[in-house]
Structure 1
Amino acid sequence: MDSLHHAAELIAGAERLVVFTGAGMSAESGVPTFRDALTGLWSRYDAEALATPEAFTRDPALVWGWYEWRRELVERVHPHAGHFAVARVNCAVITQNVDDLHERAGSPHPIHLHGSLFTPRCSACGMPFGVAAQAAPVRPAEMPVTRATTDRPPVPLSEHRENAENSCSREELTGAGAADFTAGATQLAAGTAETATGSLLREGPRTPPACGGCGEPVRPGVVWFGEALPRDALEQAVEAAANADVLITVGTAGVVHPAAEIPQVTAKLGGTVIQVNPRPTPLDGVCALNLRGTAAEVLPKIIR
């Protein structure tokens, strides 16, 4: 049987489908990765210098400015066919990406393991802080996340601490099978792309807003180097993976822990793991099917 057809049949018959996405999923939309966003003014900094609690304490305006610049980059790109394919079905979405492309495609409640550029919070008390309204979904969708329970025992993940974007170097991104950045994405990362109003993206420090509750600076809502993953998100992800009868892993090389262990949870508990990736990855051995291709190319063919 053709692998694509076999995958489509497995997915169509799944009662509890989970889609797990990494950097390659977003790169196809033109989202610059963590280190690829270090261009222009930002090229003088190491990635780690802008992505730690210590960096924010030392220079909150510098760190806030970089993350706001990156958030605005994301607002200028669009979900691709793979995002829309995922949004068409009733499934749980777990993502390592910090953008809002799944939401804009219509997936209602993606689990953001590494936080989001669109959920800033107080650096002291943790109170959520609203940013400019996110773009509305490109099309309406009412698809609740499946949260079924089973008798299968939970599988603990490793206690490694990681950063949301450790896995997003160009080397791993290419290895994860993402297409080369488009000219537009390259311009975005270089800060030379114009906005819809014709203005260039603003680089440089920006003073973070103050928390409405305690008055302390608001921080980006992402996981920084040395920080643990959000407990609620991690527990939801493990629960979804443990209960899944089919899990599709897309655009991740599977080398950053503990997120890389999510597909293994499904496999160890008897579920079927399908990988969508143009190149081999360390996850090949736990996957029942390894489909070589990009997310935008393959997902619409297997999620119907």
Structure 2
Amino acid sequence: MVAELSPELIAEVERAAKLLATQSNICILTGAGISAESGIPTFRDKQTGLWENYQAEDLATPTAFEQDPKLVWSWYQWRRALVHEKKPNPAHIALAKWQHAAKKGQQRITLVTQNVDDLHEQAGSSATHLHGHLWRNRCHDCGSPVTQDTEAPSGSKDARFDDELITCAQCGGYIRPDIVWFGEALPVQAWQTAEEAAANCDVFMSIGTSSLVYPAASLAHLAQQNGAKLIEINPNPTPNTMVDITLAEKAGVVMPLLVQQITT
């Protein structure tokens, strides 16, 4: 693996590892890029199959669900079927290894993700989800969390992908995925956790997400304003001078090497 990396990138990985190994509080934000390495399509990818004539941005909204709940629910059941058999990649596994090692030492690692899949959890990590959970449901009208037999972790043999609408036992409203749609506010507790971690960290890492796109941008700025160093892992790095260390490579390539150096 090391032989595939350029000498310049190896040197930057070593520099990042030395920095991270000496700091107490680390805040990590992951985005669509890390899940894409496990084969999960991003919102920027073109829809396929029955959904090729739809834009993801036009389906993931409260208005779309209110106008045609069956259409939106069917699309999410299709997405669940796509994600169902996806597995954590080396980046997810390396992050989990680092989190577990940190618990035995003096480091505090807060992992925040913009992804709605459960690949971090499958790998063994504890993560704060800013955009909700693909495998959870709630009532669109009253907000009550709902446990249905359609709800199961990815990889579970019990997962079902029926597209029949489900109604809430509390109010009769339609059940929807527990995901933050366009136009909706981020969950208060998750955002508070992310802000506190960013404000108090020594190093802020963004993995698979641009440091120019919100909420990543606001968290990175908050960390920097409070004296933190910024590390970005992204094949297409952010074109600005805000980041202190840029590792321009896939997370699945860089993270195992980085974590190995930190934890040994």
**Shared fold (TM-score greater than 0.5)?**
yes
1:213 is matched with which residue: 170, 194, 198? 170
The Cα offsets for residues 59-107 of structure 1, whole Å up to 9 and x where unpaired, read as: 1111011011112211111111100111112321111111111111111
Instruction: Give the deviation of 1:269 after TM superposition.
Output: 0.5
The equivalent of 2:104 in structure 1 is: none
- Conserved? CA contact 1:82–1:295, under 8 Å: yes
What corresponds to 1:132 in structure 2? Answer: 151
Q: Distance in 2 between matches of 1:7 and 1:34?
A: 30
Secondary structure of 1:38's counterpart equals: coil
Q: Given the alignment, which residue of 104, 116, 121 partners 1:98?
A: 116
The Cα shift of 1:35 comes to 4.5
**CA distance 1:63–1:37, change in 2 (3 Å):** farther
Is the Cα contact below 8 Å between 1:24 and 1:251 reproduced in 2? yes
**TM-score (norm. length: structure 1):** 0.73
| Structure 2 gaps, min length 5 | 1-9, 100-108
The structure that is helix-richer by fraction is: 2
In structure 2, give the amino acid aligned to 1:124. Answer: D
Conservation of the 8 A alpha-carbon contact between 1:22 and 1:251: yes
**How many pairs are equivalent?**
238
Residues 1:275 and 2:232 aligned together: yes
Residue number in structure 2 paired with 1:169: none
1:157 maps to none
Q: Which residue of 1 aligns with 2:51?
A: 42
Name the CA shift for 1:93/1:209 in 2 (closer, same or farther; >3 Å).
same
Out of 42, 63, 69, the residue aligned to residue 78 of structure 2 is: 69
Residue 37 (structure 1) shift: 5.9
Matched letter for residue 34 of structure 2: M
1:291 equivalent in alignment to 2:242 = no
One-letter amino acid of the structure 2 residue matched with residue 292 of structure 1: A
Q: Is the 1:123–1:219 Cα contact (8 Å) retained in structure 2?
A: yes
1:267/1:287 contact within 8 Å kept: no
The structure with more strand, counted as a fraction of residues: 2
Q: Which has the higher contact order (CA 8 A, sep 6+)?
A: 1
Deviation at 1:218, TM superposition (A): 0.8
Give the alignment's Cα RMSD to 1 decimal: 2.2
> Is the counterpart of residue 240 in structure 1 residue 197 in structure 2?
yes
Question: What TM-score, normalized to structure 2?
Answer: 0.83
1:43-69 residue CA offsets vs partner (Å, 9 max, x unmatched): 122323311111111111110110111
Aligned residue for 2:136, secondary structure, equals coil
Q: Structure 1 pair 237/206, CA: closer, same or farther in 2 (3 Å)? A: same
| Equivalences for residues 50-69 of structure 1 within 5 A | 50-69=59-78
Q: Which amino acid in structure 1 is aligned with residue 249 of structure 2? A: G
